[in-house]
Structure 1
Amino acid sequence: MDIGSTGNTLLHVDILVEEPEPWTGILGLLKILRPQWKAEDIQMKTFTEGLTNQLIGCYVGSFQEPGCVLVRLYGRMTELYVNRDREVEMFQVFHTHGCGPEIYCTFQNGMCYEFVTGTVLEDEMLWQPSIYRLIAAEMGRIHAIQPKCDASVEPLLWTKMSHFLTMLKSSTNNRPIQQRCTKCSVASREVPSYETLSAEMASLKRHLLQIGSPTVLCHNDLLTKNIIYNHKEGEELLCTSLTLGNVVDKTVKISCFLKYFM
């Protein structure tokens, strides 16, 4: 019997998976999630396209067979800008509405979730009418998901931008003076100051709030590599990498979608 989340209660396993040698920790997770699997039959495949996290697929037999488990190890210091509790909530919400994979459990430094079979989109596929219409329809489905009665509908954009700017300011202030003056920091010195960026954000917020755009649930990281296309399941799309899922202004997300076609 495969074990995963039940309702809104998600299993948490008190295991730390070491990045250099993840095998032992992952076996401990699979003993709980896939108790019928024999250790000697388990195979692992490391995905290399992630920007911040390490992703490992675990399976017995064929990678495309049902039951494959994806083990994601959180990237170093990603907790500084990722709300892990919110991420888990987004996995559950998206899956409940048929828009994302099922999450099985969390552990000390990561999570396990369902492997979705299909084709990872490439940029050139976005020009195919059958594909971009599916993406638009899927965006509409996600935007239509209603928040819980007690959930905040404050747009994520301004909170997240403020958080990033605060991190930038803290990073700059904590850097040794001699390091700020080396040739290696030329690029960082060319970045506008914290004060300039804060003023630009305030101006942007002031203008956009006048639009009166509705706030809707969004993926917020809908890169082509985060969309799985399964033509065998009736032209189906599913979103992965739900780390940044949250409520934002609808017009902002539509403009992000349209940039691929400009």
Structure 2
Amino acid sequence: LKVFTDGTSNQLVGCCNQQRPQAGMVLVRVYGPKTELLIDRDAELVIMTLLSAAACGPGLLAKFSNGVAYEFVPGHCLTLEQIRTEKYGSLTAKAMAKIHSIDPSNLLPPSLTIDREPKLFQNLKKYLDLLPEKFDDETKHRRFQQLKGKCDFAKEVEVLERELLPLESPVVLCHNDLQINNIIYSSDKDEICFIDFEYSAFNFAAYDIAVHFCEYCGQFEAQ
């Protein structure tokens, strides 16, 4: 067993048979407490099934009440220095374009459906609804008061929606969390693939690109 410590919200354990190393590793991810408030776990399983069928993600092996088991993707996470280079930037763009071009129509079994509406503003409003008017912890509440109020955030979302929707950015299948810990480079294949599709959904293509560059700020290296 190998315990991975890079994750911020879940527990991840790699399992392999040392007497049969050629069989590869299986990853078991246990969901963190209350993460279902932010993440649609049923939709995540559909996305993983779709990406595996499109050869863009690991195979889903099993699911249980508070987690999943899936194939291990060999390779290493990119560093901040690598992702800024032309080589790795180009490989990342190709991997993103491959996911953006996926059409679920002929890849999912009839029993599985996927919502093709863009998730950006749906999620922003959902996150706002989760914000309390007041935190029970006084320290947290004081810090919250130093930010804009909940109403101010809601107004900002309205402005963004009003200004951005007319731009008609293409709605495609997006990863939605392309920080360096989710970008794996395979030296054997000289290619990039993505992992951790918890936030993946149909969304604006421009959003997926923007999130990737925003993740450069304050990013930490994978251990």
Structure 2 equivalent of residue 54 of structure 1: 11
Q: CA deviation at 1:107?
A: 0.8
Q: Any idea what SS the aligned residue of 1:46 has?
A: strand
The 3-state SS of whatever aligns with 1:248 is strand
Residues 119-166 of structure 1 show CA distances to partners (whole Å, capped at 9, x for unaligned) of: 111111112222111100111111111243964321100111000000
What is the distance in 2 between the residues matched to 1:63 and 1:51? 31
Secondary structure at the aligned position of 2:122 is classed as helix
CA distance in 2, matches of 1:217, 1:116: 20
Asked whether the equivalents of residues 177 and 211 of structure 2 are also in contact (C-alpha less than 8 Å), the reply is: no
Describe the SS at the equivalent of 2:126. Answer: helix
Contact 1:217 1:248 in 2 (8 A): yes
Mark the CA change 1:132 to 1:102 in structure 2 (over 3 Å): closer, same or farther. Answer: same
- The Cα shift of 1:64 comes to 6.6
Give secondary structure in 2 for the equivalent of 1:139.
Answer: helix
Summarize deviations over 1:182-201 as a string: whole Å, max 9, x none: 34532121121111111100
| Amino acid corresponding to residue 203 of structure 2 in structure 1 | V
Matched, 1:160 2:123: yes
Rounded to whole Å, the distance in 1 between the matches of 2:19 and 2:180 is 25
| Partners of 1:70 and 1:50 in 2: CA distance | 13
Shift of 1:74: 0.2
Aligned counterparts of 2:114 and 2:15: Cα–Cα separation in 1: 35
Q: Is the 8 A contact 1:218 1:246 kept in 2?
A: yes
Checking the alignment, whether the CA contact within 8 Å between 1:87 and 1:243 is kept in structure 2 is yes
Q: Normalising by structure 1, report the TM-score.
A: 0.75
1:172 pairs with 2:133: yes
Matched, 1:232 2:188: yes
Instruction: Return the index of the structure with the highest Cα Rg.
Output: 1
Kept in 1, the 8 Å contact 2:15–2:27? The answer is: yes
Choose the corresponding residue for 1:95, options 40, 52, 55: 52
The alignment of Structure 1 onto Structure 2 pairs a total of residues equal to 211
Amino acid at match of 2:201: N
Output the CA distance in 1 between the equivalents of 2:93 and 2:16: 32
Q: CA deviation at 1:49?
A: 0.7
Cα distance in 2, alignment partners of residues 183 and 86 from structure 1: 35
TM-score between both structures, scaled by the size of structure 2? 0.87
Is the CA contact (8 Å cut-off) linking 1:72 and 1:110 kept in structure 2? yes
Task: Determine which of 66, 78, 89 is the counterpart of 1:132.
Answer: 89
Aligned partner of residue 158 in structure 1, secondary structure? helix
Structure 1 residues 64 and 246: alpha-carbon distance in aligned structure 2, compared to 1, 3 A threshold: farther
Higher relative contact order (CA 8 A, sep 6+): 2
Aligned to 1:247: 202
Structure 2: gaps (5+ residues): 107-112, 218-223
Aligned to 1:188: 144
What is the distance in 2 between the residues matched to 1:151 and 1:216? 12
Q: Which runs of 5+ in 1 are unaligned?
A: 1-43
Structure 2 CA distance for aligned equivalents of residues 69 and 220 of structure 1: 24
